[in-house]
């Protein structure tokens, strides 16, 4: 895990149920704690894109259900600003379950949906598995080819990407 300078909005509080975007067998995860969260006394911890969270699997395969796992948040609904001025938001809150936290290797082999640039920079193993990577305002890395998107606003959402791609 690398440290990156991004002041993203922390919008996923403790107790939130988020979608698991890989093929590890889990479908939904309830956030229990956020690694490295520091704040004033009695304030509820919350996570943002690229944060490491601990969660309990709520929905999924029978062998995965009710297990406590480590995961990385790859998408969030709440809009956040990048240092270059671009504002980014996604359709859902999603995470990827990790097999080894120190190396950052995901448990699954495929990640469904787009992954934020901040996650790919901080967690390189997760970035390698991403099929869609949201990098710049007008470009989207889909596998190897780079698709140019004609968006007139500086807000890029997953819904707009799908509409502009077709």
**Cα 156-140-137 angle, rounded to 5 deg:** 40
Q: What is the pTM of this model?
A: 0.80
Stronger pLDDT, 42 or 163, i.e. the higher one: 42
For the chain, the average pLDDT equals 83
In a domain, 1, yes or no: no
> Which tens digits make up the pLDDT trace of 91-126?
999 999 999 999 999 999 999 999 998 999 999 999
pLDDT at 13 over 70: yes
Q: Residue 133: which domain range?
A: 12-165
Measured in whole angstroms, how far is the alpha carbon of residue 60 from the centre of its chain?
Answer: 19
In a domain, 111, yes or no: yes
Percentage of the chain surpassing pLDDT 70? Answer: 77
Q: Are 59 and 26 in contact (CB under 8 A)?
A: yes
Alpha carbons 81 and 87: distance in angstroms, whole number = 4
Other CB atoms within 10 A of residue 4 CB: 12
Q: Cβ-count burial of 8 within 10 angstroms (0-12 exposed, 13-18 middle, 19+ buried)?
A: buried
In a domain, 5, yes or no: no
In a domain, 114, yes or no: yes
Here the CATH number for the domain that contains residue 17 is 2.40.150.20
Number of domains in the chain: 1
In a domain, 4, yes or no: no
Lowest average pLDDT, out of 21-25, 26-30, 79-83, 101-105, goes to 79-83
In a domain, 2, yes or no: no
Torsion of CA 126, 131, 135, 140, to 10 degrees: 180
In a domain, 128, yes or no: yes
Largest CA distance in the chain: 49
In a domain, 132, yes or no: yes
Lowest average pLDDT, out of 20-24, 73-77, 128-132, goes to 128-132
Stronger pLDDT, 1 or 83, i.e. the higher one: 83
> Which tens digits make up the pLDDT trace of 133-161?
887 655 555 543 444 454 434 344 444 44
pLDDT at 45 over 70: yes
């Amino acid at each position: 895990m690398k440290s990156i300078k991004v002041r993203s909005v922390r919008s996923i509080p403790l107790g939130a149920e988020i979608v698991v975007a890989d093929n590890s067998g889990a479908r939904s995860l309830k956030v229990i704690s956020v690694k490295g969260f520091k704040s004033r006394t009695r304030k509820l911890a919350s996570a943002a894109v690229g944060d490491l969270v601990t969660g309990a699997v709520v929905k999924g395969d029978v062998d995965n259900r009710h297990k406590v796992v480590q995961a990385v948040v790859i998408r969030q609904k709440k809009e956040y600003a990048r240092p270059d001025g671009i504002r980014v938001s996604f359709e859902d809150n999603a995470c990827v379950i990790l097999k080894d936290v120190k190396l950052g290797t995901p448990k699954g082999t495929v990640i469904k949906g787009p992954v934020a640039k901040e996650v790919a920079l901080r967690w390189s193993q997760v970035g390698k598995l991403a099929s869609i990577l949201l990098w710049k305002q007008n470009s989207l890395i889909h596998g190897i080819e780079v698709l140019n998107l004609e968006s007139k606003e500086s807000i890029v959402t997953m819904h707009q990407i799908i509409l502009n791609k077709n």
